[in-house]
Chains A and B, each alone.
Chain A
Amino acid sequence: MATTKITITVDDDVLDHVKTAVGAGEASNVSAYITEAAAQRVAREARAAEIERRWGPFGPKALAWARSAAGAAPEPGDDAYLAQIEAERSARRRAASA
């Protein structure tokens, strides 16, 4: 595969971890480690895009719940959707107990 030499900036603590991993033989060198990490992210994002093409687009309420249930960082407006979901759940509980 063709490669291109680039210059990147990484956090010092990340670089320390990478160098330790390379020293332990977990990757042949720093470039190989960083390439593998980036390739894994590329693959994840490609699969997520495939899911969105097959089943999406998803509404903001579903995405708000999805982020919350996944433990991902919330986006502005998510709280209101989550409150709406909880209100709907409470209404169902009341209806079921009535």
Chain B
Amino acid sequence: MTAAIGGRVLDVPALVDAAAGQTEYMRAWLAVMTRQGYAVAVPSTVRAGAAAGLSAAAELAELDWFCAGGAVLEIPLAAADTAAVSDLAKEHFGGEIAAAHAALTAVRRAWPVITSEDRAAGFTSAGADVELLP
């Protein structure tokens, strides 16, 4: 029957991997998500964090291409959420806003976050489900 409505939230390492093509996992994943009709949430701060971690123009172009796909929803940091994100950042992520924004997005939507193993504990303690990069 129909695909379940659902999605995933990306953290910085997942988006960097997709843009830089360090592995083929995230790029294959986007193809699967798109085909299934699932949503990919990219918090705006995560996109900015990924862009800061990419140096080559070609990688930044791939980041833009990734985010321009129909499955990708860029989630702005609303003014009303800045205090909650700041609190989450201080409590679970050593002050990092992008991770906190991803966690807030994930908890609100009840979607898992895709991140690296070294960052997973913060998301788990913030109440988000985590899907680890390989």
Interface residue ranges, A against B (CB under 8 Å): 11, 14, 40-41, 43-45, 47-48, 51-52, 54-56, 58-59, 62-63, 65-67, 69-72, 85, 88-89, 92-93
B73 to nearest A CB, angstroms?
A: 14
> Judging by beta carbons under 8 Å apart, are A51 and B34 in contact?
yes
In whole angstroms, how far apart are the Cα atoms of A51 and B8 in the complex? 18
A63 to nearest B CB, angstroms?
A: 5
**Interface set, chain B 14-32, CB cutoff 8 A to A:** 21, 23-25, 27-32
In whole angstroms, how far apart are the Cα atoms of A48 and B37 in the complex? 10
Query: Which residues from chain B contact A14 at a C-beta distance below 8 Å?
Result: 1-2
Main SS of the interface on chain B?
A: mixed
Given A47-B70, A52-B31, A72-B32; A62-B37 close (CB under 8 Å): no
In whole angstroms, how far apart are the Cα atoms of A92 and B27 in the complex? 23
Interface residue ranges, B against A (CB under 8 Å): 1-2, 4, 6, 8, 21, 23-25, 27-38, 65, 69-71, 114, 117, 131-132, 134
> Judging by beta carbons under 8 Å apart, are A43 and B70 in contact?
yes
Query: Which residues from chain A contact B21 at a C-beta distance below 8 Å?
Result: 55
Query: Which residues from chain B contact A51 at a C-beta distance below 8 Å?
Result: 27, 30-31, 34, 69
Q: Which of B29, B114, B117 gathers most chain A CB within 10 Å?
A: B29
> Judging by beta carbons under 8 Å apart, are B1 and A70 in contact?
no
**Beta-carbon nearest neighbor of B24 in chain A:** A62
Q: What's the A-B contact tally at a CB cutoff of 8 Å?
A: 83
In whole angstroms, how far apart are the Cα atoms of A66 and B27 in the complex? 9
> Judging by beta carbons under 8 Å apart, are B65 and A54 in contact?
yes
A15 to nearest B CB, angstroms?
A: 12
Q: List 22 A-B contacts (CB under 8 A).
A: A43-B70, A44-B37, A44-B70, A45-B35, A47-B69, A51-B27, A51-B69, A55-B27, A55-B28, A56-B27, A58-B27, A58-B31, A59-B28, A62-B24, A65-B28, A67-B32, A69-B8, A69-B29, A71-B36, A72-B36, A85-B134, A89-B134
**Beta-carbon nearest neighbor of A86 in chain B:** B134
Q: Give the contacting residue for A65; candidates B1, B6, B30, B134; CB below 8 A.
A: B134
> Judging by beta carbons under 8 Å apart, are A69 and B114 in contact?
yes
Given A14-B1, A44-B70, A47-B70; A70-B27 close (CB under 8 Å): no
